[in-house]
Chains A and B, each alone.
Chain A
Amino acid sequence: MKKILIPIVIFYFLVLAQTSFLVHFSILGVVPNISLILAVFWNFIEKTKNYFGLYNAFLVGFFLDVFSQRFFGFYILGLLAMAIFLKFIIRKYVQIPFVEKN
């Protein structure tokens, strides 16, 4: 249960900070999307047989969709597709020393 609830709280506050706080700190006119980077990073380092990264990608996508003007699903589907693609690529072609494959 904790494993399900903690990411909800973390990503919710990260997206809130992204839309209300980090907006004020742009680097060359661009504000890095921390929650999105975190979701990608999680899927990158996670063992390929684990699917917790997909859940995180869904959560980040959901909160980004809530606080954006785009249609619902833009970030959810985009991030999930990215997570699945990343897992597929890592499983098939990439060998990272500190990440176990199976």
Chain B
Amino acid sequence: MANKKKIITFVFGLLLIVFLLNVFQKEVRGFFYWFSSPIQKVLWRIGDKSAGFFKSIVSADNLKKENSELKQKNQKLLAEIVKLKELEKENNILREALGAGLQKEFNLILTEIISKDVSQDYILIDKGFKEGILENKPVINQENVLVGRISDVYNNFSKVILISNKKVSFDTKIYAEGKPAESEQEEDISGLASGQGGSKISFGFVPREKNLTQGDIVITSVLGGIFPKGLLVGTIGKIEKSDLEPFQEAEIQPFFDIKSSTFLFIVSDF
């Protein structure tokens, strides 16, 4: 009988603790994030550096091959830059002629990654409500690659839901290499990018007749309104096409790699 009473008290006490923790979760989590962030920042940097070191040892064999491939790609990109600079000049002249102003640049807030959720695609960053961070603001890296959006804001910290999280989906389109898709109406391929968890993203709702190829670059489109247009998402990987299905689906290999990032930017205005 006394044993039964003990068990009931234990279960009741446990449920009460869990209930109270959920009621005061912002305060509890905020306190622990504040208390732990200096240690976590150091741990993240050490992890980032040592992982890079080990990776370079493991992949030493492939370096030569990768180097020659990159040289070729670099030359191709240089040619593209020259072409784009010409287009920019032409664009500016046309803007002046039409009296249209340049597109407003993003307002960016620099932030540092503190930790990553152990089981889900979330990260914790060191900017919060005090720095004017609001929910749903996009988060990008220095290469204009989309990382995610703010999901929860604490006083000094924010949680970022990564675009690979299962809860995230947004409108994207294919960027035709060398020229933006907008210039070729017929080749404009739009689709819905959906997080699959574990750093995986899928590209769906693409009509079967559209010519999707591996290596195509996926960028955000203006349709969704959640993210600014033209942010890099990833490249098309394996494509699944069936004659029975009206739509084709593909994997997106994301450009972002949380493991090798330390600093990110919050787009506060776009």
Contacts and interface: CB of A to CB of B under 8 A. Distances in A.
Interface of A: 16-26, 29, 31, 33, 64-73, 76-77, 80
Nearest to B120: A69
Contacts of A18: 118
SS class, residues of chain B in contact with chain A: helix
A33 B40 contact: no
Contacts of A19: 40, 115-118, 124
Interface stretch (B47-55, B204-212, B230-238): B47-55
29 contacts: A16-B43, A18-B118, A19-B40, A19-B117, A20-B41, A20-B115, A21-B46, A22-B47, A23-B47, A23-B258, A24-B48, A24-B50, A26-B259, A29-B199, A33-B118, A67-B32, A67-B117, A67-B118, A67-B124, A68-B118, A69-B120, A69-B159, A70-B119, A71-B22, A72-B21, A72-B22, A73-B22, A76-B17, A80-B14
Interface of B: 14, 17-18, 21-22, 25, 28-29, 32, 36, 39-41, 43-44, 46-48, 50-51, 54, 114-120, 122, 124, 151-152, 159, 161, 198-199, 258-259
Nearest to A36: B118
Contacts of A69: 117, 120, 122, 151-152, 159, 161
B38 to A, nearest CB: 11
Contacts of B152: 69
Contacts of B51: 24-25
Contacts of B17: 76
Contacts of B120: 68-70
Contacts of A71: 22, 25
Given A19-B118, A65-B21, A71-B22, 20 more contacts: A16-B36, A16-B40, A17-B43, A20-B40, A20-B47, A23-B47, A23-B116, A24-B50, A25-B47, A33-B118, A66-B32, A67-B118, A68-B118, A69-B117, A69-B161, A70-B120, A72-B22, A72-B28, A76-B18, A80-B14
The 7 closest A-B pairs by CB, nearest first: A24-B51, A73-B18, A20-B43, A19-B115, A72-B21, A24-B47, A21-B47
A73 B18 CA distance: 5
B87 to A, nearest CB: 40
Interface-centre pick from B22, B43, B51 (highest chain A CB count, 10 A): B43
Nearest to B167: A69
A16 B46 CA distance: 13
A23 B151 CA distance: 20
B45 to A, nearest CB: 9
B7 to A, nearest CB: 10
A17, A19, A71, A80: most-surrounded residue (chain B CB, <10 A): A19
